Amino acid sequence: MSCTRLIRSGLLAGALALTLSLAGCSSDDAEPAPSATTAKQTAGTEQTTGDTGQPTREPATSGAPSSAVQSSTAKALSCRDFRALEDDGRAAAVAALGVKSNADQVATVAATVCLSRLDDKVADVVGELVPTR
C-alpha cells in the first residue's frame, strides 16, 4: 500500500470520526437562546407573596437611558451616550435630528461610525450621513 493511500484513508477516517462526534452533540429538542426582545420582556425580580405563595413579577428598574429623546437633547448627545442607548432610543434620537425616513437604519450606521468617534456629537455624524435632512 502506498504512502498517499495510507494518508488519504487516515484523513478520511479522521473526518468521519469528527463528523460523527459533532452529530452526536446536536439535539433536536434544544430550545433556541432567548432573543434580546424576550430578555427585555422577562426582566424583573420575582418575590413570593405571603398570602398565596405564588411568585409575582415586579419590573426591574435599570439606569438605562429613556428612549424618548427631544431635539435639544439629541443635538447635544455625544457618540458615547448614543451608543449606550437601545435601538429604539437611537432611532428616536436620529428622528429628533430631522431624519424623516429610515431613522432606524441611519441610527444603526451612525452607531457604527460612533465606534471610532466616541467624543463627537451624534448630530455631526448624522449630518455627514444624511446631509439633506
Confidence of residue 23 (pLDDT cuts 50, 70, 90): low
Per-residue confidence (pLDDT) for residue 117, from 0 to 100: 94
Mean pLDDT of the chain: 73
Per-residue confidence (pLDDT) for residue 41, from 0 to 100: 45
Taking only the tens place, the pLDDT of each residue in 26-66 is 555 555 555 544 444 444 444 444 555 555 444 433 444 44
Per-residue confidence (pLDDT) for residue 46, from 0 to 100: 44
Name the least confident of 13-22, 36-45, 72-81.
Answer: 36-45
* Signed CA dihedral, 46, 52, 54, 58: sign only: negative
Per-residue confidence (pLDDT) for residue 124, from 0 to 100: 95
Neighbours of 132 (CB within 10 A): 4
- Range 9-35 average pLDDT: 57
Between 112 and 30, the more confident residue is 112
